[in-house]
Chain A
Amino acid sequence: MAGDPSVAIAADDLGRTFGEVTALEHVTFSVTSGTIVGVIGPSGAGKTTAVRILTGALAPTSGSATVLGHSCSSLARRTRERIGYMPQLFSLFPDLTVGENVDFVASLFGLLLLRRRRRVRRVLELVDLWPVRGRKASQLSGGMQRRLELACALVHEPAVVFLDEPTAGLDPLLRTAIWTELHRLSRSGCTVLVTTQYVGEAEECDEVVLFSEGQLVSVAQPDEMRRDATQGEVIELQTRDVFDGDRLAGLPIIRSVRQLSGRELLVTTDNAGTGLPVILNAVEDLGGVVTSSREYRPSFDEVFATLISRHRATLGQPPDGAIAR
């Protein structure tokens, strides 16, 4: 895994404890170069710990991790020059201006004057902070401070960038702008690992890593994760009259049926495309009249809650927050 040039980030049986507390255990996944990977999970799931280990800021207590083929425990200067990092909390210099902060970080990464000037302007325009470049960082709003940190993480055009909740506290327009930039970065070959508290943003990612209780719950593309949560593809049916969904339970292609109301059903099947005609015929055979049918795509909030709830159940914990329909 570590030797594969197409793999930008790899974690192998990664673990980290803080005294008696296990923050991360047995985490194994890899990230393909040039993709956007979203790391999601409830608070305290181990997302930030994983990011800190992967950036080399924290040593793992077990397992290993690599970035750009190099061990995270001993990242060489050359490798660090190709990594960008935006921490979860504001950790820049409040007494420096916006421009000075970005310029300082660019200097740390060895950008020379002309390129530095160009890049500072470019990233500040990207995060919409160019007009306030002369303002002290301490005088910025919380959202502006997040954008400033994002600018600092991107200023040196890294090959891999770790963003710990970059969109937290931002308004939807700016979040959209930032995701647009992340997609642009990805298209240019940059690998983006982003943690987010907005689970819906997982759909923007090429792949999603789901953490819970310090463990890896799932690594999949968003649609695969959705299928995993619903355990198949879901068809939403509306009937003209009241129809008892349990009457479909005997069909072999049907995994489950959930009655939303007297005239609304959610039917889970392995393949919605091939299963839909069969289900429609079955409903008609049972005397029902289908007025509309469509593939049901649960929101990622629902997917998230379902998977977390299921994982907690395997750990013997109460499935609080489970909202699977």
Chain B
Amino acid sequence: MILLQVLTRLLAIVGKELVEAIRRPAALFSLVLGPFLIMAIFGLGYDNSITPFRADLVVPPGAGLSTNLADYQPFVPPGARLDSVGTDAAAAEQALRNQAVDVVVYVPANLMKTFEAGQQSTIRVEYNLISPAKADYATLLVQQLAYAVNEQIIERTAGTGVSVLRAPGSSFPIPPAVIAAPTRAQPENIAPNQPSLPSFYGPAVLALILQHLAITLTALSLIRERRTGVFDVLRVSPVSAFEIVLGKVVAFAILGVVIALALLAVLVDVLGVPLLGDPLLIAASVGLLLVASLGLGLLISVVSDSDRQAVQLALMSLLASVFFSGFLLDVQQFVPVVQGLGDLLPATHGIRLLQDLMLRGAPPSRGTSSPWRRWQAWP
């Protein structure tokens, strides 16, 4: 008898929970299908392509090598794209500092003479990257670019005949090691800071936290007040809808700024993340990130009919940000449509701005990876 009563009570609770869940199909839909939707977008949108590093080759006039771009193209490794071959080292370096290119290969001025003298030359290769993963990749790529130059030298040498290998007046042949590798690469990262992985992801985590905080606070505040009838009281009062929304946005922006300051202090003072950029620009970036995130929170509050659904949508936006904002994977590894989806997330821009401002000390360049350029390139 007691067992039956316990069972009855238990079944009543089970039934009530099931009925409540089923009667909110939108919440159930977003709970179950939301993450699947994001995974589906991720699966369909990820094209596994690596954005090639943009490279410039500087060949001084006395180097004895071709300055024709086409001559080098067959030797350029996958993962790199040789944009130009020139003779102006200063211009190339400026382009690198402006992030118009990712890598510059400087051929030494006396390359052929050094080679003919039986000595190996050193090719200086500079890149400008703050991402540790990209910097590691660039190191590998630099070696391949050096091979491309070597290929050029060897091909040219072979064209001039064996006499070069035993130059007139020389008493010894060019050593085989030098023939095999006339040059060796000496990579150098000229980025103002080469952060560790935790330091590199610090600003990105800050952007994600601020976005999630702003979205959740705004959405929940509006949903609760709408559902509890507070809006009726506000509607009757002489407060306009604009004032209500503005008041909330300002309040949550203040809260967000305080939290941003606290997190920045932890990042800089405890974790040692560098803060190289102009504090005003960093503050402006945090402000823009918060305002955009608060706007997204307002949107979620409009389309949600309960606290539960608002929380789910806020979490979905966080999940989408982890995948599509450039937090884990480069946005250019996705198809353009998904890149556009990522551009709708405030975190995409916040991560980019904060990483460059904090770690590089300058705002992001308008390189090919900027949303602006992507929109311009849109068909």
Interface residues of chain A, those whose CB is within 8 Å of chain B, are 52, 55-57, 77-78, 80-81, 83, 85, 87, 89-93, 105, 108-110, 152, 162
Whether B236 contacts A55 by the Cβ 8 Å rule is yes
- In the complex, which residues of chain B have a beta carbon less than 8 angstroms from the beta carbon of A81? 238
Question: What is the distance, in angstroms, from A79's C-beta to the closest C-beta of chain B?
Answer: 8
Within 8 A of A (CB), among B58-90: none
A93 to chain B: closest residue by CB: B230
Within 8 A of A (CB), among B230-257: 230, 232-240
- In the complex, which residues of chain B have a beta carbon less than 8 angstroms from the beta carbon of A87? 229, 232-233
Whether A108 contacts B232 by the Cβ 8 Å rule is no
- In the complex, which residues of chain A have a beta carbon less than 8 angstroms from the beta carbon of B237? 80, 85, 105, 108-109
- In the complex, which residues of chain A have a beta carbon less than 8 angstroms from the beta carbon of B238? 77-78, 80-81, 108-110
Whether A108 contacts B235 by the Cβ 8 Å rule is no
Given B228, B235, B240, which contacts A89 in the complex, CB threshold below 8 Å? B228
Between B228, B230, B237, B239, the greatest number of chain A beta carbons within 10 A of the residue's beta carbon is seen for B237
- In the complex, which residues of chain A have a beta carbon less than 8 angstroms from the beta carbon of B235? 55-57
- In the complex, which residues of chain B have a beta carbon less than 8 angstroms from the beta carbon of A56? 235-236
B235 to chain A: closest residue by CB: A57
A55 to chain B: closest residue by CB: B236
Whether B236 contacts A91 by the Cβ 8 Å rule is no
Whether A89 contacts B236 by the Cβ 8 Å rule is no
- In the complex, which residues of chain B have a beta carbon less than 8 angstroms from the beta carbon of A108? 234, 237-239
11 further A-B contacts with Cβ under 8 Å, apart from A55-B236, A87-B229, A93-B230, are A57-B236, A77-B238, A83-B236, A87-B233, A91-B228, A91-B232, A91-B233, A92-B233, A105-B233, A108-B234, A108-B239
- In the complex, which residues of chain B have a beta carbon less than 8 angstroms from the beta carbon of A85? 232-233, 236-237
CA distance A109 to B237 in the complex (A): 7
CA distance A110 to B233 in the complex (A): 15
Given B228, B232, B236, which contacts A80 in the complex, CB threshold below 8 Å? B236
Whether A91 contacts B239 by the Cβ 8 Å rule is no
CA distance A89 to B229 in the complex (A): 8
8 smallest A-B Cβ distances: which pairs?
A91-B229, A80-B238, A85-B236, A77-B238, A108-B237, A55-B236, A57-B232, A57-B235
CA distance A179 to B228 in the complex (A): 27
Question: What is the distance, in angstroms, from B73's C-beta to the closest C-beta of chain A?
Answer: 66
CA distance A93 to B225 in the complex (A): 9
Question: What is the distance, in angstroms, from B98's C-beta to the closest C-beta of chain A?
Answer: 51
Between B228, B229, B232, the greatest number of chain A beta carbons within 10 A of the residue's beta carbon is seen for B232
Could you pull out 7 A-B pairs where Cβ atoms are within 8 angstroms?
A56-B235, A57-B232, A78-B238, A80-B238, A81-B238, A85-B236, A109-B238
Question: What is the distance, in angstroms, from B200's C-beta to the closest C-beta of chain A?
Answer: 39
Question: What is the distance, in angstroms, from A102's C-beta to the closest C-beta of chain B?
Answer: 12
- In the complex, which residues of chain A have a beta carbon less than 8 angstroms from the beta carbon of B240? 77
- In the complex, which residues of chain B have a beta carbon less than 8 angstroms from the beta carbon of A52? 232
CA distance A80 to B240 in the complex (A): 11
- In the complex, which residues of chain B have a beta carbon less than 8 angstroms from the beta carbon of A57? 232, 235-236
Question: What is the distance, in angstroms, from B254's C-beta to the closest C-beta of chain A?
Answer: 17
- In the complex, which residues of chain A have a beta carbon less than 8 angstroms from the beta carbon of B233? 85, 87, 91-92, 105, 152
Given B230, B236, B239, which contacts A92 in the complex, CB threshold below 8 Å? B230
- In the complex, which residues of chain B have a beta carbon less than 8 angstroms from the beta carbon of A83? 236
Mask of B207-238 contacts with A, CB within 8 angstroms, 1/0: 00000000000000000000011101111111
Question: What is the distance, in angstroms, from B45's C-beta to the closest C-beta of chain A?
Answer: 41
- In the complex, which residues of chain B have a beta carbon less than 8 angstroms from the beta carbon of A105? 233, 237
- In the complex, which residues of chain A have a beta carbon less than 8 angstroms from the beta carbon of B239? 108
- In the complex, which residues of chain A have a beta carbon less than 8 angstroms from the beta carbon of B228? 89-91
Question: What is the distance, in angstroms, from B224's C-beta to the closest C-beta of chain A?
Answer: 10
- In the complex, which residues of chain B have a beta carbon less than 8 angstroms from the beta carbon of A152? 233
CA distance A83 to B229 in the complex (A): 17
Question: What is the distance, in angstroms, from A104's C-beta to the closest C-beta of chain B?
Answer: 10
A52 to chain B: closest residue by CB: B232
CA distance A87 to B230 in the complex (A): 9
CA distance A109 to B230 in the complex (A): 15
B229 to chain A: closest residue by CB: A91
Question: What is the distance, in angstroms, from B240's C-beta to the closest C-beta of chain A?
Answer: 8
- In the complex, which residues of chain A have a beta carbon less than 8 angstroms from the beta carbon of B230? 91-93
- In the complex, which residues of chain B have a beta carbon less than 8 angstroms from the beta carbon of A91? 228-230, 232-233
- In the complex, which residues of chain B have a beta carbon less than 8 angstroms from the beta carbon of A78? 238
B227 to chain A: closest residue by CB: A91
B232 to chain A: closest residue by CB: A57
Question: What is the distance, in angstroms, from A57's C-beta to the closest C-beta of chain B?
Answer: 5
A79 to chain B: closest residue by CB: B238
Between B234, B236, B238, B239, the greatest number of chain A beta carbons within 10 A of the residue's beta carbon is seen for B236
A82 to chain B: closest residue by CB: B238
- In the complex, which residues of chain B have a beta carbon less than 8 angstroms from the beta carbon of A80? 236-238
Within 8 A of A (CB), among B11-26: none
CA distance A56 to B232 in the complex (A): 9
CA distance A52 to B235 in the complex (A): 10
Between A77, A78, A90, A108, the greatest number of chain B beta carbons within 10 A of the residue's beta carbon is seen for A108
CA distance A52 to B234 in the complex (A): 12
CA distance A93 to B229 in the complex (A): 11
Question: What is the distance, in angstroms, from A221's C-beta to the closest C-beta of chain B?
Answer: 28
B243 to chain A: closest residue by CB: A108
B244 to chain A: closest residue by CB: A108
CA distance A77 to B230 in the complex (A): 18
Question: What is the distance, in angstroms, from B76's C-beta to the closest C-beta of chain A?
Answer: 63
Question: What is the distance, in angstroms, from A88's C-beta to the closest C-beta of chain B?
Answer: 8
A110 to chain B: closest residue by CB: B238
CA distance A105 to B237 in the complex (A): 8
CA distance A77 to B242 in the complex (A): 13
A156 to chain B: closest residue by CB: B237
- In the complex, which residues of chain A have a beta carbon less than 8 angstroms from the beta carbon of B232? 52, 55, 57, 85, 87, 91
CA distance A89 to B234 in the complex (A): 14
Question: What is the distance, in angstroms, from A137's C-beta to the closest C-beta of chain B?
Answer: 12
CA distance A93 to B233 in the complex (A): 11
Question: What is the distance, in angstroms, from A189's C-beta to the closest C-beta of chain B?
Answer: 20
CA distance A80 to B232 in the complex (A): 13
